[in-house]
Chains A and B, each alone.
Chain A
Amino acid sequence: AQTVTQSQPEMSVQEAETVTLSCTYDTSESNYYLFWYKQPPSRQMILVIRQEAYKQQNATENRFSVNFQKAAKSFSLKISDSQLGDTAMYFCAFTTNAGGTSYGKLTFGQGTILTVHP
């Protein structure tokens, strides 16, 4: 069974600063995807960034980037130039297509509450 662990229940950062959220996972699969989702107070689950396990290059999306360490099974999210709108719960998630069930079946971490202070 796959597990995803986020060891930081809460984090805070000053506006315009950089913050890194940690995530580790455990799997025996070789082909999988990792995601970071953002859940603001509106409760909507918003995909922030995606990383394919077969790609060595770390994914980036504007101010968001990941540090994917496959051997260590680590997948951290770096938010640069933090903005007040980044305040949200952030979830790390894992999925694989084992058994051909497609990639929408996600295993989530416990979440990290990020607060950006002005």
Chain B
Amino acid sequence: QKEVEQDPGPLSVPEGAIVSLNCTYSNSAFQYFMWYRQYSRKGPELLMYTYSSGNKEDGRFTAQVDKSSKYISLFIRDSQPSDSATYLCAMSLTGFQKLVFGTGTRLLVSP
């Protein structure tokens, strides 16, 4: 079993849809949870990070962490074609060190 599981997709949605991206994990000691966006031929860029459980909102993006279920989610409201990218979840015991990444979910938002 991989430490972090993520559906590779692709996930295709129409513009304006609400998108839900998810990861599950096996290590209950993880404390930091991140979401990265990676455009084709580019490196990952940090979208949001959360410490421990709870929700965090930033514009159209909301990150949720449910440590009891070992499940994290990223919601994108009013999705745009520019949101088309691969979304990677990552997590760690100690902040931004020793990140363990999921495989990434490819998102396609059609106009």
**Do these two chains interact?**
no
Interface residues of A (CB under 8 A from B): none
